Structure 1
């Protein structure tokens, strides 16, 4: 194991031999514009090493710089890192590049640099190094579903730190769904007053006969959201909020029954959904519903500065619209042809509404049904197909196919996997994922903004379960998203797995409850909880 086992792998790296000792006299020389990264380095390295890293120059100093030359060569997220006997020079193409370089510097100090207090008798040194690095993709994302199981604010902040350690830069915050509404909207207090708690929860897959009768819920206040967004921004992570519509809306309808299709459903009787799957209760296609969600989005935009806003748009059953005289009259009035056109009408409305406010709509690939709204981007989850269609039509795409990068899917076929869901996707499988599908035209490939791993929490009831599903596979995904890797068949999977031996020690120091390479520990298993195993390899669609 070696401290030069970097993950994600840099573009170029040389380690000629030799060490630069760090001690109480090692100074930090922070150039113009580097203050935030300097503060972060002092915070994490000061805690782990006990070294003060005072302001100063001279032999052995750690110098932080932002330079146009690095920006020109490697872009604003690129960096150069030089460690010699004279000291350290970390040169970023911009503030983000400098910060990613600082993450590499931390890795070079060894796994104990990830601890919160110094170990007795520990000495510190950096290996002599020359690194030039930049990311392959500008969108390197992770989705966390906090609706199915709520994630406490402190755990969201921790996950952002773990993302930053892996050079991921987009946090897709799935805030609303049938099972709970998780963001305070001041003008609609019942969204959290009634919509954020459910009476019980299904244990395991929806086919399981077991229930947890403990009420479950929670939400983030607007100040919590501001804190999360600020914490992310300090780590050069953009938070993209998702407010789901017109499907996945039972929690909202339970809070405000008039949002639903009241002519065919007794919406007054609906509660926040307590099981999993595709819910039939969808929003009514009325002007009043549009005004309601415009009010929601007005508060969302005030909290999230991200260019993109996710509106879901997936898994919207049309049965209620087919049965509803009001919905059928609306189809005729709008001239949209059918129920798919009605869904497209929802999406197009908010595409225009967001564009008028300087934002961009992004949705799951179902928003292609009925015609894709102009300016909309697509999260391609049902395989590559939706993303290919959108990219070839000139729309931007984030590739996140379920068959490859849904981290709620099981990691092994063994019977000890906790609540086995979906396809087997091993650490090596994720490492061989390719975000740009073969055969995509060069012009269309430019519309692939990047890639994202998704974490749906139906069977993840707490932080340790999320840790188990996400790690170590997020390390493989991060390298796919950042590094200039060859085609999947030519990737050095064995070399990556060898580097992971060092990375496991970093995760240990961070207290991450990852899946061990030998299989789940006894306390990580969930015997008797039914999952959704799918035999055979996942289809590529």
Structure 2
């Protein structure tokens, strides 16, 4: 039972026989479970060459019983719903030749299927059978499980280094395998604009590529002179959204405003503070850090981004994307201080200063999105200057912003950089590739507690979830992304899902490490280029590519 995340309860059932899945196994799906039915056929069916024939209908008026052949009845996989279980919860039972996957809703059935996949061993993660005809024997058992948080997310930064569509689809499969249910797509930044906006075509014609890229941390002297770029078309996004929906994953699109906007200004110079800087000379940024070039606080800019968000809402339907992320972080105010237009706007609006101007920017789009049935979410800087009641907060600079937001009645997703930034280095060894940030080992991530101690019960209820963030400044390939993300994402998934984890100091990390021995074999079958427990393999190292180590370790709070 080397399951990850660990379920709430799992027991054997020695009084019953188990089930043997083979080419005769049938699959029945109750109404509402069709997505899991399709997934089982395309995934487990392919891995083991199982046709998973539809179960014959019996009991209809005039139906004749199946003829008796003397052979044992085929095993059955049965999908069903029991709303009493609750959202995303499930019950998995194996006994007397049947495998029953029952969910509190359609998502719960899908998570039950992910658990079944783990029970069938590493070969279940392959795309074609490697042991044709080998019996798939399941012992009789009962598992009952439910998630701790409704938001179990991962941020994927495709702005700094573009990830092709097929790799995004692969990432959806990987997070689904770990029972995560949110993919936060960071689509725009100073270094690239990755989403086609048809009414503003230069956003991708100009803003989606840069002529060169800094290798390593921004202090590194190294450059890659290969132009870098790419973007997703409308149809690419529709495919990604549909693929996610089949796996009961929500997509949170992020369009960063008013900072982190140099790629957009390079495409449309009038979006910048033209009376403070020559925006016509700007290009897409080719290094890392925080660009000083931010959006101008004008009505023209508001109308431009309303048009952008109209297309975003069309591409990301509310059923899959109820939240829209507007960034709102790291917005330098120097250009607003130097801009006569911005200063006149401060006086006109009566917002006091440049921080009030940013708060006005955020509140405008909070109202605009709310009028269209969506909820705004942004980084914890959006708390500065006041926040509308319906907005939610991603707490990244630590837990303090999340605590303040929750105590003020705002929903919060905890994603503090000190704990769950997976681009941060995994050890302080000299072989760690492009080391940046805090040391966060597999055990560190496993001991992360998303709900800060001392938070009132009412405020704690506003911690709707937790998210691991994967920024890609130094992750320039799928292999580098794999290395930084895994195996730590498995530990994070257990923190996000399991309802039975004790306090961080009492968690059984040794037991988790033992379960990970089986999970590494699953990741091998999936082709994940993870970091081994013993350290990076020779080809995973990046000698000479500088990082930015931070002295010391973050506090475990």
TM bucket normalised to smaller: over 0.9
C-alpha offsets along residues 478-531 of structure 1, whole Å, 9 cap, x if unaligned?
000000111101111110010000000000000000001111011100000000
RMSD of aligned C-alpha atoms? 1.1
Equivalence for 2:113 = 102
C-alpha offsets along residues 4-29 of structure 1, whole Å, 9 cap, x if unaligned?
20000111111345642111111112
1:523 equivalent in alignment to 2:539: yes
Equivalence for 1:436 = 451
Contact 1:384 1:540 in 2 (8 A): no
Displacement after TM superposition at 1:35 (Å)? 1.7
C-alpha offsets along residues 128-170 of structure 1, whole Å, 9 cap, x if unaligned?
2200111000000000000000000000000000010000001
Equivalence for 1:35 = 34
Equivalence for 2:19 = 20
1:390 equivalent in alignment to 2:379: no
Other structure's SS at 1:24 match: coil
Q: TM-score, normalising length from structure 2? A: 0.95
Select which of 498, 522, 530 maps to 2:514. Answer: 498
Matches within 5 A, 1:419-430: 419-430=434-445
Matches within 5 A, 1:317-466: 317-466=332-481
Displacement after TM superposition at 1:539 (Å)? 3.8
Select which of 316, 327, 337 maps to 2:331. Answer: 316
Structure 1 runs, 4 residues or longer, greater than 3 Å off: 16-19
C-alpha offsets along residues 91-117 of structure 1, whole Å, 9 cap, x if unaligned?
111100000000001110011110111
Select which of 110, 122, 127 maps to 1:111. Answer: 122
1:153 equivalent in alignment to 2:152: no
Q: TM-score, normalising length from structure 1? A: 0.97
Other structure's SS at 2:35 match: helix
C-alpha offsets along residues 327-355 of structure 1, whole Å, 9 cap, x if unaligned?
11110011000000000000000000000
1:536 equivalent in alignment to 2:548: no
> Whole-Å Cα distance in 2 between the matches of residues 382 and 524 of structure 1?
29
Matches within 5 A, 1:191-270: 191-270=203-282
> Whole-Å Cα distance in 2 between the matches of residues 253 and 397 of structure 1?
31
Equivalence for 2:2 = 5
> Whole-Å Cα distance in 1 between the matches of residues 426 and 137 of structure 2?
36
Cα 1:452/1:34, change in 2 over 3 Å: same
1:470 equivalent in alignment to 2:482: no
> Whole-Å Cα distance in 2 between the matches of residues 123 and 522 of structure 1?
38
> Whole-Å Cα distance in 1 between the matches of residues 296 and 221 of structure 2?
32
Displacement after TM superposition at 1:374 (Å)? 2.7
Other structure's SS at 1:117 match: coil
Contact 1:375 1:395 in 2 (8 A): yes
**Ranges in structure 1 where 5+ consecutive residues have no aligned partner:** none
Equivalence for 1:120 = 131
1:162 equivalent in alignment to 2:174: yes
C-alpha offsets along residues 340-382 of structure 1, whole Å, 9 cap, x if unaligned?
0000000000000000001110000000111122311000000
Contact 2:212 2:223 in 1 (8 A): yes
Contact 1:351 1:374 in 2 (8 A): no
Select which of 70, 74, 84 maps to 2:95. Answer: 84
Equivalence for 2:63 = none
> Whole-Å Cα distance in 2 between the matches of residues 45 and 539 of structure 1?
43
Other structure's SS at 2:54 match: coil
> Whole-Å Cα distance in 2 between the matches of residues 539 and 529 of structure 1?
28
Displacement after TM superposition at 1:88 (Å)? 1.0
Equivalence for 1:64 = 79
Contact 1:344 1:373 in 2 (8 A): no
Which of these two proteins has the greater Rg computed from alpha carbons?
Answer: 2
> Whole-Å Cα distance in 2 between the matches of residues 372 and 33 of structure 1?
38
Contact 1:363 1:378 in 2 (8 A): yes
**Ranges in structure 2 where 5+ consecutive residues have no aligned partner:** 57-72
Equivalence for 1:512 = 528
> Whole-Å Cα distance in 2 between the matches of residues 302 and 209 of structure 1?
42
Displacement after TM superposition at 1:85 (Å)? 2.7
